Amino acid sequence: MTDITPHSLLARIVRPTDVSRLGMDDLARLAGELRRVIIDQCSTGGGHLAPSLGVVELTLALFKAYDFESDKLIWDVGHQAYAHKLLTGRAERFHTLRQLDGISGFPRMAENPYDHFGVGHSSTSISAALGMAVARDLAGQKHEVVSVIGDGSMTAGLAYEGLNQAGDMGRRMVVVLNDNEMSISKNVGALSRFLSRKLSRPAPQRFKREFESWLASIPRIGKDLAMYARRSEDSLKTFFTPGMLFEAFRFTYVGPIDGHDIPALVDVFEQTKGMDRPVLVHVLTKKGMGYKPAETNPTYFHGVGGFEPETGLVPAKPGGGPKSYTEVVGGTLCRLADTDKRIVAITAAMPEGTGTDCFLQRHPERFVDVGICEPHAVTFAAGLAAQGFLPAVCIYSTFLQRSYDQIVHDVCLQNLGVKFFLDRAGLVGEDGATHHGIFDIAYLRHVPNLVFMSPKDEAELAQMVAMAFATPGPVAVRYPRGVGIGAEAPPPPAELELLPLGRGELLREGADVLVIALGSRVYPALEGAQELEAEHGLSVAVFNARFIKPLPVEQLLELAARFERIVTVEEGCLAGGFGSAVLECLADSGLMAGKTIRRVGVPDAFIEHGKPKELRARAGIDKAGIKAAVVAAAGKKALGS
């Protein structure tokens, strides 16, 4: 529980101007208070601790220098915005962070007038800031526009599209590059190396000196060249510092600046205000700053569940529980790759989140972290597949949304053997609307050549991973966040029985209603069916579809010929989802006449944050929701008539 004492500075702050009135000493004190509240809250309710701790001083300096009553502030990803939330009238409700009906873990325009742009997916801030700068100029207004983007988020092409346009348009805006050398894990990519502080270390400095003296040694023109290089705007200093890159994008580069030095930051932001052009302020911060456990292990504390605040220790989980779906995919991929040297694992900045960190340990030469650039990950995989490799693209369902065109145009159109593993498919919980993986069925099931499946439990998931590599062409598997149901451990991959393509399994016979369930909803449907039998005497059959594409058409038609009342169940959006596919199949086969069909799935609305269990209940896709739909489909029969 967050403790904000009445005597604290934080208790007196409800809007940004309350911060800008404070002197430097009070700002330093406030930084300490913010850290304590953020650590306390994350220790009980979980959240993005390390990113938020890293920008406490930066946030205060921005609030001191700018007037966010009129100036605009856009956080990239928004997982670092807890101090921002606490300073904008949400301290009282901070204990509800990420909870059902509480405040969101990310900035949201609907939540607060100082959340100027909603975020969750990375690398959008520069584009949005440019849009706001152009809107300001069109409207004849004068305010400042500031965006804050991390070095990890700068690995996405979208960030460069924004820089490219912003530099060309030359509008007044400030991009703050929050460089902590980390994404969730260690940051990757050539830019990350380029930004690296190693630039100011002896070797490159010596290289600069040597380069200058080499220039000077060129007969006749050398001395002039060296002098020109030293003096000109494109001087060697600029050339060999991060400024070079941003100056090439026509940004004025300022930095690097210590991102924990509030007076220095305020000074720089005040100066940039007079510049009528795009400016990039390069700020160096430490992820997890001010909390030793998070400083020492920023990857673990990037996004955490509960922990012991004094020590940072995490309560030990009782051993021997079911494995997570993520672990099953990572483990199965590793073992398949032991014998099949064509398998390459690809992650977009989430080795731990996708379980591919074990692949990195076991097969480092065939593991690639491309950074936060899901579209590139897919086309990169297509290139590998075109040369006979079998890339496993492991990306959360929500982030794969970005790669739709690459999936269609680069992979499926060419029928390339890219295997997609969509983690966190379904309602993910506390991260909320930006992170739920509920659209993948709708955005993939119409793409030709793709085989698309979803397992009922972790054992079936292992079979599907093996099947993905035994099936030619593109294959996708979707599976939920969290642990499995405790299904019996599958045999080693080589001994796994391959599933028949496009065939599901009838798990429960029945006479009154047929439930056609997919993936995570199969077991709730089974349990619901058992309860309905006991409670209402309803006889409910349950079919595990397994395949979204190709649909188990033959079996569906046989079953549909027997049942007048049908319920489809999925953990995905109803519009264009699995139930829609079943309806299309029945309609196309002329089997709709006289049938009562209900679809259970996520309704046409964005689902907010909360515990997965609470959200499934609210969306009507939990066991109770399934039972209600079956009862409704059964009609009079359910009432015993």
Residues that bind ligand TPP (CB under 6 A): 51, 54, 77, 79-80, 121-122, 150-153, 178, 180, 182-184, 287, 349-350, 372, 374, 399, 402
**Cα separation, 286 vs 545, whole angstroms:** 48
Going by the DSSP 8-state scheme, the letter that residue 433 receives in this structure is G
What φ, ψ does residue 394 adopt, rounded to 5°? -105, 105
CA–centroid distance for 212 within its chain:
45
Is there a contact between 112 and 106 (Cβ–Cβ < 8 Å)? no
| Nearer of residues 121 and 445 to ligand TPP, judged by Cβ | 121
CB of 428 to ligand TPP, least distance (A): 12
CB of 189 to ligand TPP, least distance (A): 11
Question: Is 277 an annotated catalytic residue?
Answer: no
Q: Which residue blocks in 590-622 are alpha helix, DSSP H?
A: 612-619
CB of 162 to ligand TPP, least distance (A): 14
**Cα separation, 463 vs 481, whole angstroms:** 18
Between helices 578-588 and 553-562, what is the axis angle to 10°? 70
| Nearer of residues 41 and 80 to ligand TPP, judged by Cβ | 80
CB of 185 to ligand TPP, least distance (A): 9
| Nearer of residues 60 and 633 to ligand TPP, judged by Cβ | 60
What φ, ψ does residue 180 adopt, rounded to 5°? -115, 10
Question: Is 335 an annotated catalytic residue?
Answer: no
**Cα separation, 239 vs 248, whole angstroms:** 10
| Nearer of residues 76 and 460 to ligand TPP, judged by Cβ | 76
**Cα separation, 328 vs 81, whole angstroms:** 33
| Nearer of residues 43 and 192 to ligand TPP, judged by Cβ | 192
Supply 573's token pair: 């959006």
CB of 205 to ligand TPP, least distance (A): 26
Question: Residue by residue, what is the 3-state secondary structure of 269-312?
Answer: HHHHCCCCCEEEEEEECCCCCCCHHHHHCCCHHHCECCCCCCCC
Question: Is 374 an annotated catalytic residue?
Answer: yes
| Nearer of residues 121 and 136 to ligand TPP, judged by Cβ | 121
CB of 433 to ligand TPP, least distance (A): 13
CB of 334 to ligand TPP, least distance (A): 22
CB of 317 to ligand TPP, least distance (A): 24
Supply 194's token pair: 């380029």
Q: Which CA distances in Å does 43 have to 93, 97, 101, 113, 521?
A: 16, 12, 20, 28, 31
What φ, ψ does residue 515 adopt, rounded to 5°? -105, 125
| Nearer of residues 376 and 445 to ligand TPP, judged by Cβ | 376
Is there a contact between 512 and 538 (Cβ–Cβ < 8 Å)? yes
- Straight-line distance from the first to the last Cα atom of the chain, in angstroms, rounded to the nearest whole number: 53
Gyration radius of the chain's alpha carbons: 27
| Nearer of residues 142 and 186 to ligand TPP, judged by Cβ | 186
| Nearer of residues 42 and 559 to ligand TPP, judged by Cβ | 42
CA–centroid distance for 412 within its chain:
24
**Cα separation, 537 vs 554, whole angstroms:** 29
Out of 286, 402, 424, 546, which one is annotated catalytic? Answer: 402
**Cα separation, 186 vs 183, whole angstroms:** 6
Task: For tokens 């290089």, name the residue.
Answer: 229
Residue burial 587-599, b: 16+ Cβ < 10 Å; e: rest: eeeebeeeeebbb
Burial of 488 (0-12, 13-18, 19+ CB in 10 A): exposed
Helix (H) or strand (E) holding 557: helix 553-562
Find the angle CA(621)-CA(627)-CA(628) to the nearest 5 degrees.
Answer: 85
Out of 72, 85, 90, 287, which one is annotated catalytic? Answer: 287
| Nearer of residues 79 and 95 to ligand TPP, judged by Cβ | 79
CB of 274 to ligand TPP, least distance (A): 28
CB of 181 to ligand TPP, least distance (A): 8
Q: Catalytic residue numbers? A: 287, 374, 402
